[in-house]
Amino acid sequence: IDWLTDLGDLSGLKLTMRDSTEAAIPFSVIGKRLRSLKVGDAEKTSDEILFNAETLTVAGEAIEEIDARNASSIRGKLDLQKCPRTREIYTSGTSLTSVIPPVGGRVTTLQLPDTLQDLVLVNLNLLQPEGLDITDTALANIRGLYINSCQHIDPIQLLQRIYDTPNNKLTGIGLVWKGWLIDDDGSALRMFGKIAEKAGIDGGYSGV
């Protein structure tokens, strides 16, 4: 498909395996000129979307938009490291536990699913806070948080949101940033103190 820039709307496409309809179905797309991939739809419910692949693999140097909204069958990890020009990533309504944007990529919109367990953002300097769409449900489910040098994303503020979410599952924390820590009311320092108390102990944080 190296000559194609678009595959059209695949959300109405139901896939089957040749030997069995019960097996987990993978879907892999590799295209040099592919600009967009649409396997989901924001206007349809998960019941209306026929696309039923359980794993999604995407690679392409030209791809800019990936739309998997409400394609609930997609689970596991979506690794977009081989999509350096990706700008818009829509995965709400999927069953993905990890969405990995390209390191140092051009991402401006990142919409994440409620089932998210790992949030990894590295050198995404075009991503603004309004472009990061993450629900309270997703915040409660996140187990691992790693943010490194994202110019416009405040890692302390995001950590605080997760930490303050009732019954959160956070166990691993990695934050790298440049600049001052603005903490007028001392809430961040109190949070750091409580995290430090529970770091490395049973039932606490496995990695900070």
* Tokens, residue 62: 């030209």
Closest CA to 45 of 68, 66, 70, 67: 70
Residue 201's pLDDT band, with cuts at 50, 70 and 90, is: confident
Burial class (CB in 10 A: 0-12, 13-18, 19+), 112: buried
Q: State the pLDDT at residue 133.
A: 98
Which alpha helices (DSSP H) does the chain contain, by range?
Answer: 136-141, 155-163, 187-197
Question: For residue range 33-86, what is the model confidence (pLDDT) as tens digits?
Answer: 999 999 999 999 999 999 999 999 999 999 999 999 999 999 999 999 999 999
Q: Which residue has the higher pLDDT, 159 or 22?
A: 159
Q: Is pLDDT at 203 greater than 90 in this prediction?
A: no
pLDDT average, residue stretch 131-143 = 97
What's the CA gap between 19 and 59, in Å, rounded?
A: 27
pLDDT average, residue stretch 171-196 = 91
What's the CA gap between 58 and 177, in Å, rounded?
A: 29
- What's the Cα-to-Cα distance from 157 to each of 7, 43, 59, 152, rounded to whole Å? 39, 32, 32, 11
Least confident of 28-37, 44-53, 128-137, 178-187: 178-187
